[in-house]
Amino acid sequence: MKHRLLTPGELEEALASMSGWTLEAGELAKEFRFASYLEGAAFVRRLAEKAEAMNHHPDLHLGWRKVRMRVSTHSAGGLTELDFSLAREADRLHASI
């Protein structure tokens, strides 16, 4: 499936609705905090399952009590609605932990 790059206006609007997300080097990025390392690891596993179901795979970095996520649509060469959909899934998952 081909995904359309978001326009600068669409990016600005989408980003304004996303708490804690930033644009870094053309990618959507956020750092999630956890009470323990194992909570972060559980988040990574659950997010990986969602990402696999969406066939959209973010870069995840697991650290002590934190997970750093970066995502873009490589096949489109930038950010698409798919990236924001996965970001919303990550936010919902984080809120449930």
In the chain, how many domains are there? 1
Q: Taking residues 72-91, what's their average pLDDT?
A: 97
61 domain-assigned: yes
- Tokens representing 27 are 């990618």
5 domain-assigned: no
Q: Where are the alpha helices (DSSP H) in the chain?
A: 8-16, 37-54, 81-96
7 domain-assigned: no
18 domain-assigned: no
41 domain-assigned: yes
Q: Which domain holds residue 69?
A: 23-96
What's 60's domain CATH number?
Answer: 3.30.1360.20
Question: To 5 degrees, how large is the angle CA 26–CA 29–CA 30?
Answer: 165
17 domain-assigned: no
Percent over 90 (pLDDT), the chain: 96
Q: Taking residues 49-71, what's their average pLDDT?
A: 98
Enter the DSSP assignment of 31.
E
Instruction: Please give the C-alpha separations between residue 52 and each of 45, 46, 49, 62, 88, in angstroms, as whole numbers.
Output: 11, 10, 5, 18, 15
